Amino acid sequence: MANPYFQCKQFIVHQQHASMKVCTDACLFGAWAAQKEEVIQSEIILDIGTGTGLLSLMLAQVTEKFKTNITAVEIESKAAAEASSNFTLSPWKDRLHVVKDSIQNYTASFTGDKNTVHPLFDVIITNPPFYEGDLKSPDANKNKASHSTELPWSTLIENVATLLKNTGSFMVLVPTLRAYTMQKLAATNNLHLVEEVLVYNDAKHLPFRAMLQFKKHIPSINNELAVIRNKIIIKDEENNYLPAFTNLLKDYYLYL
C-alpha cells in the first residue's frame, strides 16, 4: 500500500485520495524546473493536471522571494481536494490556488471573459497523462490521471499556446519514446524546444523519461533556437543516488 503522505523538507504531500502518487521522476522533474531562472523570477505559473499538488509546491518553495502566484488546474475531484489541502498546510498557501476543472474549460473561461483582461502565464508546467493504447485500470480516476484519452496531447498543447506569454516557458515530462511526438505537436503551435534532458534509472538501461522545455517563439530563418541536450542518471550500480540527482533534490528530500 502506498504511503498516505510524502514528507519533504519544507512541505508535506498527502496522497491518500489521489490516483497518481508521488514518484521519483515527478520529483526530479519538479526540481529540474525549479532551478531555472524563468521559474524563480516568474510572476504567475500554471500547473496543468496538478494531482497531489507536488509540482506547484516545489515551485512555490523556490519563488518565495518573488511571491509568485501559482494556479493548479485539476479535473479529478478527489485529487483537487487533496491538492487544495496540501496547499493550505504549506508555508505558501496564500500563493497557491486550485481550480477544479479541465484545462479546456479553464482556457475557455479565461479567454471568454470579455470584461476582464487576464494576464498570460510566465511558465506553464505539466506532468500530463501519457498512456494511449495501453491496457486501462479498473480505477476510472486513475485512468483519467494517466491516460491521454481525457486530455489528448494536441489539445493540451493548443491550450498551453493560448495561455502562455509570448516570452514564456513550457515544461513537460513525457515518456522518452513519445518525446518526439510532443516536440512535433509543440512546434506546430510555435512552441520551440530549447532543452531536452533524458532520464535514466541507471547506466545499464535506456532512458525512460524526457524532461522538455519549450519557448514560445517564432524564429526567423536565420534565428533558429539552439537546443541543449543533457541526461541525468538517477542511481549507480549499487543503487545509490548519483550526484546530479542529489544536487537537484537536496532541497526537497529529507535524507539528502
Tell me the C-alpha distance between 249 and 256, whole Å. 7
pLDDT at 216: 87
214 within domain boundaries: yes
Q: Which of 196, 202, 206 is nearest to 231 (CA)?
A: 196
pLDDT, tens digit (0-9, with 9 covering 90-100), for 99-156: 999 999 999 988 777 777 788 999 999 999 875 554 444 444 444 444 345 789 999 9
Q: Name the residue range of residue 119's domain.
A: 5-249
| Residue 39 confidence (pLDDT) above 50 | yes
Q: Cβ distance 198 to 32 under 8 Å?
A: no
Task: Quickly state the pLDDT bin for 53 (edges 50, 70, 90).
Answer: very high
| DSSP state string for the chain | ---SEEEBSS-EEE-SS-SS---HHHHHHHHHHHTSHHHHT-SEEEEES-TTSHHHHHHHHHTTTTT-EEEEEE-SHHHHHHHHHHHHHSTTGGGEEEEES-HHHHHHHHHH-TT--PPPEEEEEE----BSSSPPPS-HHHHHHHBTTSS-HHHHHHHHHHHEEEEEEEEEEEEGGGHHHHHHHHHTTTEEEEEEEEEESSTTS---EEEEEEEE----TT-PPP-EEEEEE-B-TTSPBPHHHHHHHTTTBTT-
- Could you identify the residue written with the cell 506553464? 124
Q: How many domains does the chain have?
A: 1
pLDDT at 220: 54
| Residue 211 confidence (pLDDT) above 70 | yes
| Residue 244 confidence (pLDDT) above 90 | yes
| DSSP state string for 208-230 | -EEEEEEEE----TT-PPP-EEE
197 within domain boundaries: yes
pLDDT at 3: 74
| Residue 50 confidence (pLDDT) above 50 | yes
Count other Cβ atoms within 10 Å, centred on residue 140. 11
pLDDT at 1: 53
pLDDT over 90 percentage in the chain: 78
| Residue 77 confidence (pLDDT) above 80 | yes
34 within domain boundaries: yes
pLDDT at 223: 62
29 within domain boundaries: yes
- Assign residue 194 the CATH number of its domain: 3.40.50.150
Task: Quickly state the pLDDT bin for 215 (edges 50, 70, 90).
Answer: very high
The residue type at 77: S
pLDDT, tens digit (0-9, with 9 covering 90-100), for 197-210: 999 999 999 999 99
163 within domain boundaries: yes
| Residue 73 confidence (pLDDT) above 70 | yes
pLDDT, tens digit (0-9, with 9 covering 90-100), for 151-170: 899 999 999 999 999 999 99
Task: Quickly state the pLDDT bin for 222 (edges 50, 70, 90).
Answer: low
Q: Measured over all CA atoms, what is the biggest interatomic distance in the chain, rounded to whole angstroms?
A: 60
State pTM to two decimals: 0.90
Count other Cβ atoms within 10 Å, centred on residue 139. 11
Q: Which of 155, 182, 214, 203 is nearest to 33 (CA)?
A: 214
94 within domain boundaries: yes
256 within domain boundaries: no
71 within domain boundaries: yes
Count other Cβ atoms within 10 Å, centred on residue 224. 10
